[in-house]
Chains A and B, each alone.
Chain A
């Protein structure tokens, strides 16, 4: 009985698709291996009985300058660096493959990742193999069907899920896509009730979620386009939602000005998590100006308590000037932004916390012959932390995709809520070598991290990276000269 049913399905497919079948068959893929090595020296909490530390109050200083926090009648605690440096290696293998079996509109996509790290504290470095995506796509003129482990990019971010989607584009200029399936946690590519979250949080979800939503995209002429997205994630036991959000993004080309607008809105907390208007335009030969106004407010899923803590956001304005100096190979960039946080209605007023922030950056790149140099400086100050520093790279390009460069960097970092200043300086050598369809990359560097506080020792360390990428198969559907 089962065989007859399968034969019937096969026959139906053959009748439906047969005459148009057997278009070009092919496949395209890429195999990548990337390995990184780094060293980190951790912090550990240490303590002394409160009575053994001289002084009064919460904050006291030991004889060697160590600042400690004391709880009367209990302990005085502090964080100092551990003696041993820990070495970490992170190795990933990626295989992405798209194949066309020869039936018009039918394609299979798979992106697998294997992890072969030291399984130390560096996140996701344990041994594991996962499917980033694995789906079948069937594309007809007005419809596109997809099923399997899919990825979605929308104004709400990048989501992977197990399920299906249907895209309809039967009436210009509309494109409507609906999707449904079992969602995967954002940034994890794993179910919410899996080990990854359970090990990370005592209140991790105990149920998976079903993702349902839709996108509507419409164009007005060739210069205006917008996409509205709605999606919600429901617990599989129907006991509640994990998320309910919507987003709207639009881009308009008005004369010489490119205008971008984006918002995303959390229906559960009635908050705009992102609201941004951005415009960029050329203003003179080689000069482009970009400016934006933005309101940002963090977003939390409903399985956490964080949204109920009423986090506040900030409003920011900024701009950047890009200048490709005509007749030269020099390009310059400079910009800055200022942000102001909303009133928190919390905490003690006598504490002097940052309530606004700013950042500025500059960059210059210059090529002379096969040599190139690239320098960047960035300064950032705001609530929580500040840093000032830059990078400088000088290199030689042997061929497109093949270069050797030396790089140096130095950064000064301050944490608003923790004493001390950290200076990170270092440099190294990096390069890439392209041989046909194979690309090799590698770098070796050394850094010195020094803190100006007691009991935090020198964090001098070495880093390394090596990678290999190999592309294979036909190039159906992609144009020569295009990006991958």
Chain B
């Protein structure tokens, strides 16, 4: 019984801080005094009686009875001091048990070879399925105070808190909200609201976070530590760019755990989806949330350079979010920004020019750009029409109509109107009618009778 009492004393005297591995410089060398104290109750009578004032009944004066310099050397032992602890264990509230049950060293050969409380003994009742003290299923709050109530713990001691094994799961950060909702008391043993505010821009809106108190000690520990926002598995879906809008509309509160409005504004303009306004905005000194690097929005496929018309004109996405207006002029307004065409395009642009995958005239004047060059280099001889250049067939003049109607834009890059009017005018020359079957002269004349007059006398138009 005495041994049991001694062990019980040690639970309070030493084991109280056991969870946190706090050094105990004033720890009493029990093994050296094994023969002197036959039972634990001799020194720790209050353990069994429940008298908290008598937990430690040994004083320095007691020691001096032997350590007086004659019988034994004088020792400088000031007596036990209550350890800083957040343990709520009370011997009196637990069924009586031998001290050795919790405090005996596993390989102890003598009665007083003791240690801090063996926590597996606690688990036999409090978490019977757990294999270790910090296992996922163990409810910390059963034996530990909320951090806010453990006022004796220092910042350094809090910093040394061990991490429960479930916190090491890869998906812990993504999934911890359900753990907090189920058992916030467990979280509160180690965390204050400040822990959550390190990452959560929406801390003000989450009940569990608001239920935790603020704590300056924790605040000092997390200050200047960047937030962590691991990408949930959903974000790795191949269609996430397209799908994220619907999910945001459905559960914007979830997005707000990691994202502030600037996350969205990297791609969405100020006139973007209204749901963005429901996200928090960063505050000075607070977390920024996930920072999304500017990149191509979903529609910016690699061929966007030549396929951006609808996106730019219809305004999804809004180009001005990322581009200034001079960005358009870089390509559309001339040659100052190399890079639109592949290198050496001048020597190989023929096929693209005929095919008109993009309309050359959007940026280049057929007359003052293309023809100017073609005349200069000699492809076009002042626009004169002769078959010497088109020598792939000896019947070019007879057959050129089909080629011309298919590629008239390209013809105009060498030929002036006067080239064709030598034959295709109603005023003189061969008077060959160039109009196709779908030509509507009245429609054209309504808008510009002058253009008809290039080939026709006014009398011919009546």
Contacts and interface: CB of A to CB of B under 8 A. Distances in A.
B406 interface: yes
Contacts of A286: 238
A447 to B, nearest CB: 6
Give the size range of A's interface with the partner: 35 or more
B182 interface: no
A308 B448 contact: no
A464 B6 CA distance: 92
A187 B314 contact: no
Interface string B42-71: 000000000000000000000000000000
Contacts of A187: 361-366, 368-369
A69 B266 CA distance: 62
Interface in A430-484: 441, 443, 445, 447, 449, 463, 465, 467, 478-479, 481-484
Given A42-B376, A122-B373, A261 B417 contact: no
B421 interface: yes
A312 B356 CA distance: 13
B392 A418 contact: yes
B417 A253 contact: no
Interface in A269-314: 269-270, 274, 278, 280-288, 290, 296, 298-300, 302-312, 314
A275 B215 CA distance: 65
A91 to B, nearest CB: 10
A384 interface: yes
Interface string B317-334: 000011111111100111
Contacts of B336: 32, 34, 92, 94, 113
Interface in A349-398: 350-351, 353, 355, 357, 359, 363, 376, 380-387, 389, 391
Given A124-B369, A346-B404, A310 B245 contact: no
Contacts of A482: 266, 294, 321-323
B377 A346 contact: no
Interface in A413-441: 413, 415-419, 424, 426, 428, 441
B95 interface: no
8 smallest CB-CB distances across A and B, nearest first, come from A121-B376, A310-B436, A384-B354, A346-B401, A59-B394, A347-B402, A240-B448, A43-B378
B196 to A, nearest CB: 27
Given A34-B336, A38-B346, A217 B314 contact: yes
Between B363, B438, B452, the greatest number of chain A beta carbons within 10 A of the residue's beta carbon is seen for B438
Nearest to A391: B342
B363 to A, nearest CB: 6
9 contacts: A69-B391, A124-B334, A223-B245, A251-B311, A253-B245, A262-B309, A341-B406, A384-B350, A387-B350
Given A96-B326, A413-B350, A311 B409 contact: yes
B405 interface: yes
Interface stretch (B23-31, B103-111, B157-165, B300-308): B300-308
A182 B409 CA distance: 25
A418 B391 contact: yes
Given A124-B334, A256-B239, A382-B355, A417 B451 contact: no
Contacts of B315: 217, 219, 225, 227, 251
A109 interface: yes
A285 B241 CA distance: 12
B243 interface: yes
A141 to B, nearest CB: 12
Given A240-B448, A311-B408, A347-B401, A298 B356 contact: yes
A280 B342 contact: no
A258 B443 contact: no
Interface in B259-274: 262, 265-266, 272-274
Given A244-B447, A298-B356, A385-B354, A483 B238 contact: no
Interface in A20-48: 30, 32, 34, 36, 38, 40, 42-45
A54 interface: no
Contacts of B375: 121
B239 A290 contact: no
A268 B348 contact: no
A386 B302 contact: no
Nearest to B268: A222
B294 to A, nearest CB: 4
Interface stretch (B72-80, B82-90, B124-132, B379-387): B379-387
A355 B371 CA distance: 25
B344 interface: yes
A310 B400 contact: no
Contact of A226 (B293, B314, B377, B444): B314
A90 interface: yes
A445 B344 contact: yes
Interface string B400-433: 1111111111101000111011001000000000
- Residue of A187, A199, A244 with most partner-chain B CB within 10 A: A187
Interface string B428-457: 000000111111110110011111101100
A132 to B, nearest CB: 5
